[in-house]
Amino acid sequence: MKKRVKIQVSIAGSGDPSQTELERKYASLRRTLEEHSRAARLMNKTGRTAEEIESTVAAERRKDAAIPRVSGFTAPFSFKPGEEIIIDAELADKWEAAGICSILPAEKKTAA
């Protein structure tokens, strides 16, 4: 459910990463570790095994999963005092408790 709120103070944030962005991050990490491993083997050094690489990527996934996704936004956002916006009801309640916004009364829908 969504609520209409009026922003009381300036607020901005980076937003929560989407699943697509996270998958890109893990693929990039895996690719980088594989490249470093190949380069190490070319220099007759011990590189990471495939299991070690997957373990590192899995650890990064666990670390990202532990980060709470609380902003409710998937992209960077910013609001100025006086702006009226519609946001998730749970987030609206949290922001109102923190003094960031005030919840506006629901508008009654009228038949046209």
Q: What share of the chain is helix, strand, coil (3-state, %, to 5)?
A: 45, 20, 40
Domain 1-16+74-112: which topology?
Answer: Ribosomal Protein L9; domain 1 (3.40.5)
Whose tokens are 């699943």? That residue is: 19
pLDDT of residue 66: 79
Whose tokens are 């990202």? That residue is: 64
pLDDT of residue 107: 73
Q: Where in the chain is the domain with CATH 3.40.5?
A: 1-16+74-112
pLDDT of residue 28: 97
Answer yes or no: are the C-beta atoms of 54 and 61 closer than 8 Å. no
Total-model pTM: 0.58
- Per-residue pLDDT of the chain in tens (112 residues, 90 and over written 9): 889 999 999 998 887 888 888 999 999 999 999 999 999 999 989 889 999 999 999 999 999 887 766 667 778 889 999 999 999 888 899 999 999 999 998 776 655 5
